[in-house]
Amino acid sequence: MGQGMNATAHPLDPLSFEETGLAAQAVRAHVGEGGRWRFASIELREPAKDVVTGFRPGDSIDRVAHVICWNCVDGKAYRAHVALADAGVTWEELPEGTQPNMTVDEFHDCDRALRNDPRLVEALHARGITDMDLVIVDVWNYGHHLIPEAYRGRRLGWVDLWHRGSPEANPYANPVNGLHGIVDLNAMELLELEDTFVVDAPETMGEYVPKLVPGQELRDDLRALEIVQPEGVSFTLEGNLLRWQNWSLRVGFNYREGLVLHTVGYEDDGRVRAVAHRLSLAEMVVPYRDPSTDHYRRTAFDVGEWGLGFMTVPLELGCDCLGEITYLDAVTHDSQGVARTIKNAICIHEEDNAVLWKHVDPVAGSEVRRMRRFVVSFHAVVANYDYIVYWRFYQDGNIECEVRATGIMVTAKFPVGEPPPYGTQVAEQTYAPTHQHFIVARLDLDVDGEQNTVVATQSEVPPIGPDNPHGLAIVQRATPLRTEEEGKQDYDWNTQRAWKVVNEDVTNGFGMPVGYKLVPSGAFPPMFDPSSPVLERAQVIGHTLWVTPFAQDERWPCGEFPVQAAEDTGLPAWTAANRSIENTDVVLWYVFGLHHVTRPEEWPVMPADVVSFWLKPFGFFDCNPSLDVPPNQPKHGAACH
Ligand SMILES: [Cu+2]
C-alpha cells in the first residue's frame, strides 16, 4: 500500500475502506477457523512524529493498522498490528480480563436476544406491556465495582427497557422502571432479570416529531435565510489537508475520537509555524448522580466504551449544515470487521461571525472588519444523546472547541407526590436525573516546535502599601509547571487561572517566549466523595487540567479499556512516575463539559446546551495578526470604513 498510491496520500490519512477490510482479512487469516470473533476496533496506527515531520509528498508510506479483537468463545482479547503492504500480523494477547470497547452489533444482538426471552416478556406483561415491537432494549456497561462476584470475568451488559407509545413514537419517552437485565454479551444470554418495583404512572408526552405532538402547529413567521458564497469558498481541501486564511491542518478520523485534527499550523511571514500536532476529544465521562435502582449503574464512558467515531452520523446539507459546505466521508467497520462508509461525516465550511475588529474615529471615520471563522465539525449520536463537536479557527489566531449536547434526556417515573431529590420533574410523574458530561480534550500542542513548557498564569491582588496606595494593582503571576504532579491543575475563579503553553527557545519581537493560552471555560469540579468508586474509575475528572510528556501510546485518559476495568490505567497510572514536563513535548488534557441540572424546558427534546474552550495566541505574534483582513463592500455606498 501507499507506494505512490495516491498523490495526496499522507502518513496521517485515516485507514481507507480497502485498508480496513484488508486489516480484518489479515487478522481472520491469522486466527484461522474456529472461534467466534468480534472486531472491537480497526484504525490507523499513527506514525511517530518524526515520520510525519520528515514526510515529503511521493515518499513511500509504511501503513500499519491497529486492531483490537476478541474471541466470544473464551473471552480472550488480542491486539494486532497489521502491516498493510504485506498483510503481516504482529499478535499480542491482552491481559486476562481485558474487555475491549462495546460494539454497535452487540447493542443490536442484545436487543434481538432479549425481546424474545420469556422472563422478560412475562415481566413486561405484568406491567401491561404486551406489544414487544414497542419495547426498546438499551444496553449499558457498568463499573467493575458493581459486578456481582458470580459474574466476574464475563463480558456484561446492564439492560434498560423503554416503551414507545406508538410504532413511530420516541423510544425514550417512557421508561420501564424497576426492570433491568444483566446480560452475558459473549453468550448473548440473560443471566438475571432484576424485577424490583412497579411505578403506577401515566404515559409521558415525550414526543417531539410534529405529527406526534398533540395539537402541534408549527410557527409560520420564519422567512428563508440563505448563506451563499457566489465567488466560492476561501479554503482548499487537498486529500485531507485543509488550508484557510493562513491556517493549515489535516483531518483525521477514528472509531473512538471521531474527528482528529493533525499538524495545525499558521503561516506567518511565508513560514508555517506549528501550533498543535494533534487535537481531539479523548474521553467523555457521564455519571448519573442518582443512587436509585434505575440509575446507579449509569456511569458511561461515551468515548472509551462506545466511540464517537462509531456513533458518527451522516449530515444533511441545509439541515445539519447551512451554507457552502464541503463534506468528507469517514470509514468505520462493524464487529465482523466489514468496513462501512459514513457519508458526509465531517462538515467543513466558513461562517460569518459578526465583527472581528472595529474603531470609529472622529477624523478617520469607521474602520470595521467582519469576523470569518473556519469550522470543522461532526455529529455523534450515543443512544439517547446527540453530541455535536465544532473545531473553529479564527483570523486572529484563535482556536475554539465547542461541544453541543442535545437529544433526549434519561428519565424515570415516580409515584404521586414529590419527585426524588436527584433530579428535576420534567413531565407528569416523570423526572430527569441530574448528571454530568465530563469531556476530556487531548491537546498535543507544539508551539513553534515540540519543546514546550506549560505555565500557570493567574492574577493576584497585592496588599495596599507604598507601591499600591489605592489598592488598585493587579499583577500577573506565572508559574512554570515542572512535573506531572504540578501539572494537575484546577480551575480557580478567584485568580482567573489559565495555562500558557510557551516555547522558551523561541522569542517574539519583545524577547518573550512565544505562547498559546488555554483559556478555560465550561469547567466544573467533580463533586464526588474522594472515596467514590465512580471517581476511582475516572480520575481524570478530579482536575481541570493534566499535563504529561508526550508518549505515543498514552492516548486514553481513563485507560485504553475502560469497559469493566478494575482500575484506571490512564492518567493516574502514567503520572504516578511524576515525569518532568518542563521544556519537553507536552500533552494537555483539558476537562470541561456540562454539569447538567435538568430543566423542564429540556423535555421532550433538549435544545442544545453549549460549552467551549479557547486556545488563544499569547505573544505568539507581535501584534494583531488580523490587521491585513480586508474590509467588506457595503450594501450601499463605497466601502466599510
Ligand atoms: Cu445531559
pLDDT in tens, 305-320: 999 999 999 999 999 9
Q: How far is the CA of 36 from the centre of ligand 1 (A)?
A: 36
Q: What gap in Å lies between CA 476 and CA 460, rounded to an integer?
A: 6
Q: How far is the CA of 386 from the centre of ligand 1 (A)?
A: 10
Confidence band of 638 (pLDDT split at 50, 70, 90):
low
390 is catalytic: no
| Residue 149: other Cβ atoms inside 10 A | 5
Cα–Cα nearest to 104, from 155, 71, 143, 138: 138
What proportion of the chain, given as a percentage, has pLDDT over 90?
A: 95
Please provide the average confidence, as pLDDT, over all residues in the chain: 96
- For residue 254, give the 3-state DSSP assignment: strand
Spell out the residues 6+ positions from residue 395 whose beta carbon is closer than 8 angstroms to its own. Answer: 245, 246, 356, 371, 372, 373, 625, 626, 629
Spell out the residues 6+ positions from residue 554 whose beta carbon is closer than 8 angstroms to its own. Answer: 548, 570, 574, 587
**Residue tagged active-site, from 78, 255, 288, 385:** 385
Which residues keep their CB under 5 angstroms from ion ligand 1? 596
Q: What gap in Å lies between CA 584 and CA 487, rounded to an integer?
A: 13
Ranges in the chain annotated CATH 3.10.450.40: 17-93, 104-212
Residue 488 reports pLDDT greater than 80: yes
Spell out the residues 6+ positions from residue 320 whose beta carbon is closer than 8 angstroms to its own. Answer: 347, 379
pLDDT in tens, 514-558: 999 999 999 999 999 999 999 999 999 999 999 999 999 999 999
Cα–Cα nearest to 281, from 593, 44, 523, 552: 593
Residue 261 reports pLDDT greater than 70: yes
- Give the pLDDT mean for 425-452: 98
Residue 2 reports pLDDT greater than 50: no
516 is catalytic: no
Residue 446 reports pLDDT greater than 90: yes
Confidence band of 143 (pLDDT split at 50, 70, 90):
confident
Q: How far is the CA of 358 from the centre of ligand 1 (A)?
A: 38
Q: How far is the CA of 212 from the centre of ligand 1 (A)?
A: 24
Topology of domain 104-212, CATH: Nuclear Transport Factor 2; Chain: A, (3.10.450)
**The model scores a pTM over 0.95:** yes
Q: How far is the CA of 388 from the centre of ligand 1 (A)?
A: 13
Q: How far is the CA of 380 from the centre of ligand 1 (A)?
A: 14
pLDDT, position 3: 39
pLDDT, position 376: 98
**Residue tagged active-site, from 138, 160, 302, 448:** 302
Residue 4 reports pLDDT greater than 60: no
Cell of 570: 490512564
Query: Are 461 and 473 spatial neighbours (Cβ–Cβ below 8 Å)?
Result: yes
| Beta-ladder partners of 273 | 266
Q: How far is the CA of 407 from the centre of ligand 1 (A)?
A: 9
- Give the pLDDT mean for 164-185: 95
pLDDT, position 144: 87
Q: How far is the CA of 639 from the centre of ligand 1 (A)?
A: 46
- Give the pLDDT mean for 607-614: 98
Q: How far is the CA of 608 from the centre of ligand 1 (A)?
A: 10
What does R_g of the chain's alpha carbons equal in angstroms? 26
Q: Which of 16-20, 85-89, 143-147, 471-475 has the lowest mean pLDDT?
A: 143-147
Q: How far is the CA of 529 from the centre of ligand 1 (A)?
A: 21
- Give the pLDDT mean for 613-639: 93
Q: What gap in Å lies between CA 224 and CA 222, rounded to an integer?
A: 7
Q: How far is the CA of 64 from the centre of ligand 1 (A)?
A: 37
Residue 8 reports pLDDT greater than 90: no
pLDDT in tens, 43-75: 999 999 999 999 998 898 899 999 999 999 999
Ranges in the chain annotated CATH 2.70.98.20: 235-617
Q: How far is the CA of 201 from the centre of ligand 1 (A)?
A: 24
Spell out the residues 6+ positions from residue 5 whose beta carbon is closer than 8 angstroms to its own. Answer: none
pLDDT, position 5: 47
Q: How far is the CA of 346 from the centre of ligand 1 (A)?
A: 24
pLDDT in tens, 30-43: 999 999 999 999 99
Spell out the residues 6+ positions from residue 75 whose beta carbon is closer than 8 angstroms to its own. Answer: 153, 154, 155, 186
Q: How far is the CA of 425 from the centre of ligand 1 (A)?
A: 15
Confidence band of 228 (pLDDT split at 50, 70, 90):
very high
- Give the pLDDT mean for 320-342: 98
314 upstream amide cis, omega within 30 of 0: no
Q: How far is the CA of 423 from the centre of ligand 1 (A)?
A: 11
Whether domain 235-617 has CATH 2.70.98.20: yes
Q: What gap in Å lies between CA 497 and CA 34, rounded to an integer?
A: 57
Which CATH number is associated with domain 17-93?
3.10.450.40
Residue 134 reports pLDDT greater than 90: yes
